[in-house]
């Protein structure tokens, strides 16, 4: 049953694409069975009149235009007519405006009329789910009686109102949405006039935007039921996904943008750029009309937020947000069947008689800056200039629907268009004919269909358009005439209908004029071929298919997330860990540093400040308390150099292990080396030159040669994301074929770094030696019986988690357990790490003892760091670790070998505070 796909089961299909293909076939089958139901005309093709009657009947059943005064409930948007209905998933459609026009008829009476929009048509035709609408009714209702009456009336239409006061509407809708987001998303930029005042108003408008989105979220949360899908629409509600997920993490949330999404260079000019991107990423699926818009969004997330973009979306806080293109369509059958209606046929005959002997060109647009109406008319003028033959044989019908007539910019545009039209008609018109017929009003559905049907060339010259469905409507009405579509390459529809249309740059008037000439002279065979391609697309990619596909993808994305979550280790059980800690007698606490104990740094663009790694300010008290516990040994194990650890932890009575454990600083003592005797460091100079070269060639990358002594790290975290990846790839190719081709080294790739280190330099390889030094220094006589190991380690260094696993027969990279004599640590010849799987690059060569990079410049055989001589080998086990007393935890990583996870350093701080309190209570 189709309903089974919503209960979280994959119906034995584990492949994502397989599940989506299955859902598509189920939708097609459901539609086919619905269309094949017996009808009054015994299954024959439904006439246009019958189709329109059916459409009207559906609208009437929704109680369109009736005054609702608490009468019997009527069927609303998306409601089935059958008495017995199969299970259908509930869909909460959240948009700025409800698809209803509301007029108050009295204190507690309202007149409602359903608006015929693309989204309404899309959801009316989809039977797989039951839609309920949440949004603003477009009217101010300050009194409680009016709100209750409107809520009751809208409930009969399956609509739920959000009540916004006039000040919120002014700041949120007229201000932030229409004056800031809408122009920016259409590449018109931020407001230019009175820049200082505009900049001051950004903050108040943005605060109103946040507040309004929270008001929408409160209404959604009130009506949400488990299993519902919440579908948020457009730039008005970019904050809504975050608000919803904050209330309920398990809520299925999708967000769709109906406008273009600009390139990252445009979006980054927005003062609130990061907040909006983070909020949208809280959704499970983020949808756009075209792949270009989706690509721009992913690019903005990587370049502005520094997140990782994948072919499937964006990874954020261990979660993958699916980003994809879902091109919307129209209810094509309604337009096709309408052509058979008597009113439309009458209009067609009238128009054919009116323009007999002339080719008809058509433009249907809102009178808006982005629609390119002046550019269209100027291109038509150039065509008439260059083609005198056509001056009395072609007519341009331009329907310009007025919009935002109270805005000065739009009034100016209207005057400009009228002036150009008058000039061209005066120049090329006659007493009986004019080349341009311009109407500043909308047409009813029947008149519009007739106009589409008689058109020879449709002209769409949008300067920037999310989709532009006029082109779809024109194609749907051209089954007989097979007219030519001239389409702007800046309209989203160009990616869908581009193959069958003539694509033009509307800014290039000469190119558009040439396209007009080509369209008028196009042979019928080519016209038919182009039309067939577009007609098939318009018929198959309907609004209903668009809605069904998006919801299907959203459901499947949630299933995918659940499958991934099952593979993610659980959250650290802090209560259990603290109990085990208190019950043990000899405890070892191993902590990473960077990404574990560091303070959070907001990405402000101040690279130098962000590079200053500092311990979290809230850790002073917990670390002091834990280090003062005589039965607890605290070790900070980091890849950072000795100086960094000294700067951050010198005040604490703890052990410090720098450079992945190759240097060790006892709680009371000086730095010593724990490196194996034979490590080859002769590769350092050649790799250093490569790193320096790429640092010079990659702006905002950095390489500190003096920071570490056993490895070299090139970091490109602050470089351009794409360029940094390309440079890292080129660097790796050069390293493998040149400087390290025969060296005993390993290359460790971080998310934005490349590290070259000697074979055997890992945290897991070092911990055996570190344990020995701890036991010797503290003169331990009882084994360690509780271990907590918490860190944000690279995959290469996660062998430390395996080292302590009680159930493993071999430890991590094959090291034996440390054993201790009464004199100290057992030093075994087999401490050397086996050769890596990477082949000759890891071969075990005879080598000099490792020294610091700076010392290597003068003498390869000198190491200033003291090394303790190996003691005798009469041994006992250092660890007596039961499974329930070992807690390994990865911070900020979901793909890990650790048993548990924590999200961030803030979570580590909270846990260590609780642990410190428990430790204090043991002795007081």
* The two structure tokens encoding residue 535: 């007609």
Judge whether 386 and 486 are in contact, CB under 8 Å. no
Alpha-carbon dihedral 174, 177, 179, 185, rounded to 10 degrees: -160
Q: For residue 640, what are the CA distances in angstroms to 340, 763, 793, 829?
A: 77, 12, 12, 28
CA distances from 55 to 116, 543, 544 (A): 11, 16, 15
CA 855 to each of CA 415, 670, 673, 865: distance values in angstroms, whole numbers, following the listed order: 78, 19, 15, 11
- The answer to whether the CB of 301 falls within 8 A of the CB of 309 is yes
Cα(555)–Cα(561) distance, rounded to whole angstroms? Answer: 10
Measure CA 709 to chain center: 40
Q: What is the DSSP code (8-state) at residue 733?
A: H
Question: Among all chains, which residue has been given the structure tokens 């008809």?
Answer: 360
Question: 4: how many CB neighbours lie within 10 A of its CB?
Answer: 12
Helices within 320-389 (DSSP H only): 332-338, 342-354, 373-386
Q: How far apart are CA 79 and CA 520, in angstroms?
A: 46
Q: Which of 258, 347, 446, 541 is catalytic?
A: 258
CA 106 to chain centre: 46
Nearest to 887 by CA among 567, 655, 587: 587
**To 10 degrees, the CA torsion angle through 607, 609, 613, 615?**
-150
Q: What is the 3-state secondary structure (H, E, C) of 521-563?
A: HCCHHHHHHHHHHHHHHHHHCCHHHHHHHHHHHHHHHHHHHHH
Q: Long-range contacts for 526-534 (Cβ within 8 Å, ≥24 apart)?
A: 527/482, 527/483, 527/484, 528/482, 529/500, 530/484, 530/485, 530/499, 530/500, 530/501, 531/475, 531/478, 531/482, 531/483, 531/500, 532/500, 533/499, 533/500, 534/475, 534/485, 534/497, 534/499, 534/500, 534/501
Whether 337 sits among the annotated catalytic residues: the reply is no
Backbone angles phi, psi at 672, to 5 degrees: -135, 165
List of residues 6+ apart from 870 with CB closer than 8 A: 824, 825, 826, 827
Query: Do β-strands 229-233 and 900-902 pair in parallel, antiparallel, or remain unpaired?
Result: unpaired
Q: Token pair of 822, please?
A: 């009464």
- Spell out the long-range contacts of 185-190 with Cβ–Cβ below 8 A and sequence spacing 24 or more: 185/235, 185/257, 185/259, 185/260, 185/261, 185/262, 186/259, 186/260, 186/262, 186/370, 186/463, 186/464, 187/260, 187/262, 187/266, 187/463, 187/464, 188/369, 188/370, 189/266, 189/269, 190/269, 190/270
Taking CA atoms, 456 is separated from 340, 349, 480, 761, in Å, by 19, 15, 11, 74
The one catalytic residue in 234, 365, 456, 465 is: 465
Q: Does 289 participate in catalysis according to the annotation?
A: no
On whether the CB atoms of residues 315 and 307 are closer than 8 A, the answer is: yes
Residue with tokens 């230019």: 192
Continuous H helices in 719-877: 721-737, 763-778, 799-803, 853-856
* Two structure tokens written together for 556: 């499947």
Structure tokens at 608: 């130098």
Segment (H or E) for 590? strand 587-591
Residue 133 in contact with residue 233, Cβ under 8 Å? no
State the Cα–Cα distance between residues 539 and 534, nearest whole angstrom. Answer: 9
Residues acting as catalytic residues = 258, 465
């Amino acid at each position: 049953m189709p309903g089974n796909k919503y209960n979280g089961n994959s119906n034995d299909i584990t492949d994502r694409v397989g599940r989506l293909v299955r859902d598509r076939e189920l939708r097609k089958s459901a539609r086919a069975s619905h269309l094949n139901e017996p009808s009054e005309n015994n299954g024959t093709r439904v006439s246009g009149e019958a189709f329109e009657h059916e459409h009207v009947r559906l609208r009437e059943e929704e109680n369109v235009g009736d005054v609702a005064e608490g009468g019997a409930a009527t069927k609303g948007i998306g409601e089935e007519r059958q008495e017995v209905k199969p299970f259908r998933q509930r869909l909460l459609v959240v948009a700025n405006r409800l698809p209803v026009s509301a007029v108050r008829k009295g204190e507690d009476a309202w007149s409602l009329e359903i608006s015929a929009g693309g989204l309404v048509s899309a959801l009316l035709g989809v039977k797989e789910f039951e839609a309920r609408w949440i949004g603003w009714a477009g009217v101010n209702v300050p009194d409680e009686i009016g709100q209750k009456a409107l809520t009751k009336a809208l409930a009969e239409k399956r609509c739920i109102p959000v009540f916004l006061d006039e000040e919120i509407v002014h700041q949120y809708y007229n201000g932030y949405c229409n004056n800031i987001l809408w122009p920016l998303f259409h590449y018109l930029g931020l407001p230019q006039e009175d820049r200082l005042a505009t900049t001051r108003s950004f903050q108040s408008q943005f605060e109103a935007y946040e507040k309004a989105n929270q008001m929408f979220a409160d209404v959604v949360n009130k009506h949400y039921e488990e299993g519902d899908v919440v579908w948020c629409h457009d730039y008005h509600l970019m904050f809504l996904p975050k608000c919803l997920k904050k209330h309920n993490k398990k809520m299925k949330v999708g967000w769709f943008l109906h406008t273009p999404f600009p390139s990252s260079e445009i979006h980054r000019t927005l003062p609130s750029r990061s907040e909006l991107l983070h909020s949208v990423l809280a959704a499970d699926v983020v949808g756009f009309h075209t792949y270009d818009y989706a690509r721009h969004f992913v690019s903005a997330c990587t370049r502005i937020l520094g997140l990782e973009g994948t072919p499937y979306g964006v990874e954020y806080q261990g979660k993958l947000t699916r980003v994809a293109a879902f091109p919307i369509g129209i209810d094509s059958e309604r337009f096709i069947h309408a052509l058979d209606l008597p009113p439309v046929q009458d209009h067609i005959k009238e128009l054919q008689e009116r323009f007999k002997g002339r080719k008809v060109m058509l433009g249907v647009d809102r009178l808006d800056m982005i629609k390119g109406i002046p550019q269209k008319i100027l291109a038509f003028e150039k065509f008439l200039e260059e083609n005198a033959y056509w001056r009395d044989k072609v007519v341009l019908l331009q329907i310009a629907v007025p919009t935002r007539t109270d805005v000065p910019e739009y009034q100016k545009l209207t005057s400009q268009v009228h002036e150009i039209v008058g000039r061209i008609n005066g120049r090329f018109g006659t007493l009986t004919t004019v080349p341009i017929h311009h109407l500043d009003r909308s047409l009813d559905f029947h008149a519009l269909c007739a106009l589409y049907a008689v058109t020879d060339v449709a002209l769409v010259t949008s300067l920037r358009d999310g989709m532009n469905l006029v082109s779809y409507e024109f194609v749907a009405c051209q089954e007989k005439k097979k007219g030519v579509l001239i389409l702007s390459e800046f309209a989203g529809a160009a990616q869908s209908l581009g193959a069958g249309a003539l694509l033009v740059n509307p800014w290039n008037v000469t190119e558009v004029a040439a396209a007009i000439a080509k369209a008028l002279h196009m042979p019928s065979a080519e016209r038919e071929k182009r039309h067939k391609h577009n007609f098939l697309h318009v018929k198959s990619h309907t609004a209903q298919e668009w809605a069904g596909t998006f919801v299907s993808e959203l459901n499947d994305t949630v299933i995918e997330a659940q499958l991934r979550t099952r593979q993610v280790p659980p959250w650290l059980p802090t209560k259990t860990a603290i109990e085990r800690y208190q019950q043990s007698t000899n405890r070892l606490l191993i902590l990473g540093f960077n990404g574990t104990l560091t303070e959070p740094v907001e990405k402000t663009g101040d690279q130098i400040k962000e590079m200053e790694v500092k311990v979290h300010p809230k850790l002073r008290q917990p670390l002091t308390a834990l280090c003062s516990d005589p039965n607890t040994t605290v070790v900070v194990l980091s890849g950072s150099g000795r100086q960094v650890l000294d700067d951050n932890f010198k005040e604490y009575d703890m052990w410090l292990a720098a450079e992945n454990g190759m240097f060790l600083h006892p709680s009371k003592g000086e730095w010593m080396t724990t490196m194996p005797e034979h490590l080859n460091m002769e590769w350092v100079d050649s790799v250093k030159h490569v790193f320096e070269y790429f640092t010079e060639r990659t702006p905002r990358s950095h390489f500190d040669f003096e920071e570490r002594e056993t490895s070299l790290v090139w970091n490109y975290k602050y470089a351009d994301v794409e360029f940094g990846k390309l440079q890292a790839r080129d660097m790796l190719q050069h390293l493998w074929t040149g400087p390290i081709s025969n060296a005993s080294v390993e290359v460790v790739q971080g998310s934005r770094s490349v590290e070259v280190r000697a074979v055997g330099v890992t945290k897991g390889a070092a911990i055996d030696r570190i344990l020995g030094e701890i036991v010797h220094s503290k003169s331990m006589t009882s084994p360690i019986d509780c271990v907590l190991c918490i860190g944000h380690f690279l995959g290469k260094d996660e062998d430390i988690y395996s080292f302590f696993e009680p159930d493993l027969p071999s430890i991590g990279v094959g090291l034996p357990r440390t054993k201790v004599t009464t004199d100290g640590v057992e030093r075994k010849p087999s401490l050397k790490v086996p050769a890596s799987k990477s082949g000759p690059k890891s071969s075990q060569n005879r080598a000099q003892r490792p020294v610091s990079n700076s010392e290597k410049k003068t003498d390869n055989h000198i190491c200033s760091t003291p090394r303790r001589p190996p003691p005798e080998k009469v041994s006992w086990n250092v660890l007596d670790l039961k499974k329930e007393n070992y807690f390994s935890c990865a911070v900020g990583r979901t793909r890990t070998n650790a048993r548990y996870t924590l999200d961030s350093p803030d979570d580590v701080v909270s846990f260590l505070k609780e642990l410190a309190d428990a430790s204090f209570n043991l002795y007081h």
